[in-house]
Amino acid sequence: MTIWLLQLVLVIGLCNVCGRAAERLGQCAVVGEIAAGLLLGPSLFGSIAPDFYDVLFGPRAPSGMAQLGEVGLVLLMFQVGLHMDFGVTLRGRRWRVPVAIAAGGLFVPAAIGMIVAVVSKGTLASDAPSLRYVLFCGVALAVSAVPVMARIVDDLRLGAMAGARHAMSAAMLTDALGWMLLAVIASLSRGPGWAFARMLVSMLVYLALSALLVRFVVRPTLERLASTAHAARDRLAVMFCFVMASALATSMIGFHSAFGALAAALFVRRVPGVAKDWHDSIEGFVKLVLMPVFFAHAGLHASIGTIDDSTSWLWFGVFFAGGFVGKFGGSYLGARATGLAPHDAMLVGSLMNTRGLMELIVLSIGLQMQILPARVYTILVVFALVTTALTAPLVRFMLRMQSRSTRAISVAGK
- 3-class secondary-structure state, position 173: helix
In 3D space, the residue among 32, 27, 28, 26 whose CA is nearest the CA of residue 13 turns out to be 32
- What's the pLDDT at 60? 65
Q: How many other C-beta atoms are found inside a 10 Å radius of the C-beta of residue 91?
A: 10
Do residues 175 and 210 lie in contact, with contact meaning Cβ atoms separated by under 8 Å?
A: no
- What's the pLDDT at 403? 73
- What's the pLDDT at 312? 86
Please provide the CATH number assigned to the domain covering 65-413.
Answer: 1.20.1530.20
In 3D space, the residue among 118, 75, 145 whose CA is nearest the CA of residue 362 turns out to be 145
- What's the pLDDT at 328? 92
- What's the pLDDT at 244? 92
In 3D space, the residue among 48, 121, 112, 163 whose CA is nearest the CA of residue 323 turns out to be 112
The residues, ordered by sequence, that sit 6+ positions from 363 with a Cβ below 8 Å of its Cβ are 140, 298, 372, 377, 380, 381, 384
Kindly report, as residue ranges, where domains of CATH 1.20.1530.20 are found in the chain: 65-413
- What's the pLDDT at 104? 92
What averages of pLDDT result for each successive group of 10 residues across the chain (414 residues)? 79 89 83 84 80 76 71 83 65 75 91 94 86 89 79 74 82 80 73 66 87 89 80 86 90 79 85 84 85 79 77 91 93 90 88 82 83 88 87 84 66 56
Cα four-point dihedral sign 186, 187, 191, 193: negative
The residues, ordered by sequence, that sit 6+ positions from 146 with a Cβ below 8 Å of its Cβ are 80, 83, 84, 168, 171, 172, 175, 358
Distance between start and end Cα atoms, the chain: 73
Say whether pTM exceeds 0.85. Answer: no
